[in-house]
A and B are shown apart, each in its own frame.
Chain A
């Protein structure tokens, strides 16, 4: 992958901001769905689709493409928004999310929307599919990478660890897992519901290489992926610590924003429901202005 310049990083940060700004009305229109996770992962999605992935939005089944598996399917709004911006389908179609006759199912469905790679939502099933694709890639002597996005909460599913064990056994260096480590699940904080720590040590003991980063730092993420590409004898986990709700101050790190869209419920500490999307967009536009100023100064 090409060296990443400051200019490129700013471009990607603006792209992540654009994704966030598009997420808000998309979720409001859907009237249900998850908000915290998609906002937290916007930086990684921007980096993936606009820098890292070898892909062709006009030919989503291109056999040599890198595969991006979204195991925690509930954050699919961020994938849909990013795919629309990348040219997989018209941005206008985002208004159909979660509605009848839509390709944008509430949880992603492979045969409904080309490019989503798997059907997901039930947790703990993406990493196994990624292992299967990585094994198939090796059998076929392909050099594509399998990037598998998982959540921290789904590491409470035993099947995630079954897959981690298999990836270690087969030394799947073409498999790069990125865990969205935001410490939030539906019922509260992950470490209270069912602790995962010591998380890094668990993966290392399964014969993985673990790279730990700030998941909202695009430069750090790209550099971790570059480092992962240089490892040839084991699977790689990028432990990305993200802030759920990132970019909207009243949503950040609040588990009550895990599973609700803006403008649906009054939530203590957040603006009244009618104001939520408006306030969120105002904050995001301010961040956009700051980024554009920085761009002008370069």
Chain B
């Protein structure tokens, strides 16, 4: 059952569940910050509307900068503003930001400890028809290895808004990962968002495994858990919205309670959220883990649902991974 204390969307399994892209939450989040703090600045590199900067740009034109197709420059300009009284969001597709501009971000934002938030949009194979060039599937790996940065991957548009606001309210570099296509709204306005906390969204008696999912894949994990329950396999589903800092304490509790993990992410399994969890478990409590995500391959053009199926990341693949990991206990 849905964890009642988190006030999740009760209609999550309905056919007509509300769907929104998580990038919408970014747009709402920066507007909310802009209204509260006149030092909030948004910069984009020629992707104003598609990365949902437009509402901010219209409301605060003097604090919005479109610097053209120049992601490295976007990073360094933001770095300069971020040490000069501003809270700066840089917004582009994740393949370019933090892909193209990885080293300028590393040097001038992260190591330099400038107050810049990197908004990586169109993450994952969910980007769909544009093809693998525009599907960022390594961005978690290349950001979470930076010392001193927070990495947030919100599970829906509502959590996305809250994560954006939380990023803006704390000094220092943050990477935020957003997706393009509509996905079910899992949480509600009342669901708390806490940096660095793993939340168990799906509860059950005597669970035999935990599915740890991040981003919009949390929905697929919930569907898998519900299906598994019909077969008498009871699992927990946890939302890992903060990849860094990782909630080690909660992971340990979940491992002790269930003894096996399946990690689920729209990202390469190498270096992603699953890897981050495996690093913790190898140290704290060796636990069998199965990893759902891209298995060392680029994807291709297609509809998101088709791609998720083809690359073994859908609810049935997650359920299979649960059965496999239980046998390894």
A interface with B by C-beta (< 8 Å): 109-111, 117-122, 124-137, 139-140, 158-159, 162-163, 165-166, 169
Contact = CB atoms under 8 A, between A and B. Distances in A.
Given A110-B113, A111-B113, A159-B104, A133 B72 contact: no
Contacts of B68: 162, 165-166
A243 B264 CA distance: 59
Given A128-B79, A133-B83, A136-B84, A162 B73 contact: yes
Interface in B129-162: none
Name the residue in A127, A136, A165 with the highest tally of chain B Cβ atoms < 10 Å from its Cβ: A136
A110 B76 contact: no
B171 to A, nearest CB: 12
A137 B77 CA distance: 12
B317 interface: no
A159 B72 contact: yes
Interface of B: 41, 62-63, 65, 67-68, 70, 72-73, 75-86, 88, 103-104, 107-108, 111-113
Nearest to B78: A132
Contacts, number: 103
A129 B108 contact: yes
B98 to A, nearest CB: 15
Main secondary structure of the interface of B (DSSP, over half): helix
A31 B104 CA distance: 28
Nearest to A126: B76
Contacts of B82: 132
A136 B73 contact: no
A42 to B, nearest CB: 26
Given A109-B111, A110-B112, A111-B112, A133 B81 contact: yes
B104 A125 contact: yes
Contacts of A165: 68, 70, 73
20 contacts: A118-B79, A118-B80, A118-B108, A120-B107, A122-B107, A124-B72, A128-B80, A128-B104, A132-B76, A132-B79, A132-B81, A132-B84, A132-B88, A135-B80, A137-B84, A139-B63, A159-B76, A159-B104, A165-B68, A166-B67
Nearest to B148: A111
B70 A162 contact: yes
Contacts of B103: 122
Contacts of A119: 107-108, 111-112
Name the residue in B65, B73, B77, B80 with the highest tally of chain A Cβ atoms < 10 Å from its Cβ: B80
Contacts of B70: 159, 162, 165-166
Contacts of A122: 103-104, 107
A158 B77 CA distance: 15
B111 A131 contact: no
Closest 9 CB pairs of A and B: A132-B80, A128-B76, A162-B73, A136-B84, A129-B80, A162-B70, A132-B77, A119-B112, A133-B80
